[in-house]
Amino acid sequence: MPEIPHRILLMEPPFYRLYKDSYSIALFPLSLGYLSGVILRETDWQAMAYNADFNPPGESIKVQYLTGEGHQNYLRTIKDPSEKIWEEIRSMIREYCPSVVGISSKTQNYASACMVAQLAKEVDEKITVIVGGPHASMVGTEILKCPHIDLGVRGEGEITIIEILSALEKGKGFRGIRGVFYREDGQEVVNDPREFITDLDTLPFPHQSAPKVLKDYDQYPVSAFMKVISIRGCPHNCQFCASREIWSRKPRFRSPANVISEIKSLQKLGVTLIRFDDDTFGVNKKYISDLCQALMEHCPGIRWDCEIHVTLVEDQIISLMKRAGCYQIQIGVESGNNQILREIRKNTTIEAALAASQTIKKHHIRVQAYFMVGFPQETEETLRDTVAAMKKIKCDLLEYSIFTPNPGTETFELCKAQGLIGDDYNVSLYGHQSPANHFCMNIPFERFRVLVSEIEKMVDRKNTLNRIKMIFSLSTLKKIQMYGIWNSLQKGIKLLSNK
**pLDDT band for position 41 (cuts 50, 70, 90):** very high
**pLDDT band for position 213 (cuts 50, 70, 90):** very high
Share of the chain above pLDDT 90, in %: 80
Q: Produce one character per residue of 301-316: b if its CB has 16 or more CB atoms within 10 Å, e if not.
A: ebebbbbbbbebbeee
Q: Produce one character per residue of 194-203: b if its CB has 16 or more CB atoms within 10 Å, e if not.
A: beeeeebeeb
- Rounded CA separation 264/110 (Å): 35
What is the average pLDDT across 60-71?
Answer: 88
Confidence check: pLDDT of 387 > 50: yes
Range from 59-68, 153-162, 295-304, 477-486 carrying the lowest mean pLDDT = 477-486
Confidence check: pLDDT of 490 > 60: no
Q: Are 274 and 291 in contact (CB under 8 A)?
A: no
pLDDT score of 394: 94
Q: Produce one character per residue of 407-428: b if its CB has 16 or more CB atoms within 10 Å, e if not.
A: bbbbbbebbeeeebbeeeeebb
DSSP state of 230: -
- Rounded CA separation 53/193 (Å): 31
Report pLDDT digits (tens) over 300-317.
999 999 999 999 999 999
Confidence check: pLDDT of 245 > 90: no
- Rounded CA separation 287/298 (Å): 16
3-state secondary structure of 407: coil
Confidence check: pLDDT of 241 > 80: yes
pLDDT score of 489: 54
Cβ neighbours of residue 111 closer than 8 Å, sequence gap 6 or more: 78, 426, 427, 428
**pLDDT band for position 239 (cuts 50, 70, 90):** confident
Report pLDDT digits (tens) over 348-382.
999 999 999 999 999 999 999 999 999 999 999 99
pLDDT score of 497: 53
- Rounded CA separation 314/362 (Å): 11
What is the average pLDDT across 95-105?
Answer: 97
Report pLDDT digits (tens) over 156-198.
999 999 999 999 999 999 999 999 999 999 899 999 999 999 9
What pTM did the predictor assign?
A: 0.91
Cβ neighbours of residue 248 closer than 8 Å, sequence gap 6 or more: 196, 233
* Range list of H helices, 46-124: 63-67, 69-77, 84-96, 110-123
**pLDDT band for position 347 (cuts 50, 70, 90):** very high
In the chain the domains, ranked by start, together with CATH numbers, are 7-190 (3.40.50.280), 227-443 (3.20.20.70)
